[in-house]
Amino acid sequence: MSNRIVMVVHSEWRERRITPHLASHGYQVECRCPAQGEPLPDNLDDYAGAIVLGGVQSANDADSVDYMRQELDWIRRWVEGGRRYLGICLGGQLLARALGATVKPHPEGLHEIGYWPIEPTHEAGDLFSGLSHVYHWHKEGFDLPRGAELLARGSRFPHQAFRWGAAYGLQFHPEVTGADVHGWLGETSDYESRLGAPPRDVHLAGIQEHDPTLDRWTRRFIDRWIGKARATAEPASVSIVTASRAAHG
């Protein structure tokens, strides 16, 4: 198996949790940003897995924006080949759309922002063991694709995680660190106008309460998803093509 992983980002933002963990396990992480003209790899068999992160875009932009439509087609091709895929927030929504499901706003226009509880399903087994709250920043959610297993539910957006073959779609953000939360809040001047967002102090208090557990869970989940890379003569590395923090969504 290849030790290369492609990470698709949708803005100039540097992921700080999953990428270092993968590099420590021997993977070469290559970041691509289609929004900035970076092409997605054509030879899919050169990679052990794909991670598609969040963004300010909507998965429904694929109906009108060329690079989003191309990305959606690429995701469909990727997962139909049985390859490992991890979609986070927008990446999970794009996976759902690639599999024929719909993505839409909350019926009351509510956002899901901050740390929220999730409820694992029977199909999840022990996947979410020890994890009670996850981090969110979004206003749209996905329906469950045909043939997918629902792994976790939520009170505001019912579909929080699903599995389809070797592909996982998550509505929440396991990759977001406490520093990222501070950064996103600091950059969001219209935060209080987002319907359903908690007060800033409540939002920030969740970091100390929930982030350490989320960090441990994320590492375990990544190990379960892809494991360690095979031995290679090449040193592990991270190739970052872009780097901003406006990646929530």
Q: Is residue 244 part of a domain?
A: no
Residue range 46-72, pLDDT digits in tens: 999 999 999 999 999 999 999 999 999
Q: Is residue 229 part of a domain?
A: yes
Q: Is residue 48 part of a domain?
A: yes
Beta pairing, strands 112-117 & 149-153: unpaired
Kindly report the CA angle at 248 between 80 and 153, in degrees rounded to 5?
60
What is the mean predicted confidence (pLDDT) over 216-225?
A: 98
| Percentage of the residues of the chain whose pLDDT score is greater than 90 | 88
What is the mean predicted confidence (pLDDT) over 173-179?
A: 97
**Can you read off the two tokens belonging to residue 171?**
């509505």
Distance of CA 35 to the CA centre of its chain: 17
| pLDDT at 191 exceeding the cut of 80 | yes
Range of the domain at 120: 4-239
Kindly report the CA angle at 29 between 95 and 136, in degrees rounded to 5?
45
Tell me the one-letter amino acid at 29: V
CATH of the domain at 41: 3.40.50.880
Q: Look at the chain and report how many structural domains it folds into.
A: 1
Q: Which pLDDT value is given to residue 5?
A: 98
Q: Which pLDDT value is given to residue 244?
A: 37
| pLDDT at 31 exceeding the cut of 60 | yes
pLDDT-derived band at 231, boundaries 50, 70, 90: low
Q: Is residue 247 part of a domain?
A: no
Q: Is residue 248 part of a domain?
A: no
Residue range 62-120, pLDDT digits in tens: 999 999 999 999 999 999 999 999 999 999 999 999 999 999 999 999 999 999 999 99
Give the lowest-confidence range in 169-178, 182-191, 226-235. 226-235
Q: Is residue 245 part of a domain?
A: no
Contact between 131 and 214 under an 8 Å Cβ cutoff? The reply is yes
Residues paired with 237 in a beta bridge: 28
DSSP-based three-state secondary structure for 151: strand
Number of neighbours of residue 150 by Cβ within 10 angstroms = 18
Number of neighbours of residue 42 by Cβ within 10 angstroms = 8
b/e burial code for range 75-114 (CB count within 10 A of at least 16 → b)? bbebbeeebbbbbbbbbbbbbbbbbebebeebeeeebbbb
| Percentage of the residues of the chain whose pLDDT score is greater than 70 | 92
Closest by CA to 167, choosing from 234, 80, 238, is 80
Residues paired with 37 in a beta bridge: none
Distance of CA 158 to the CA centre of its chain: 17
Contact between 210 and 133 under an 8 Å Cβ cutoff? The reply is yes
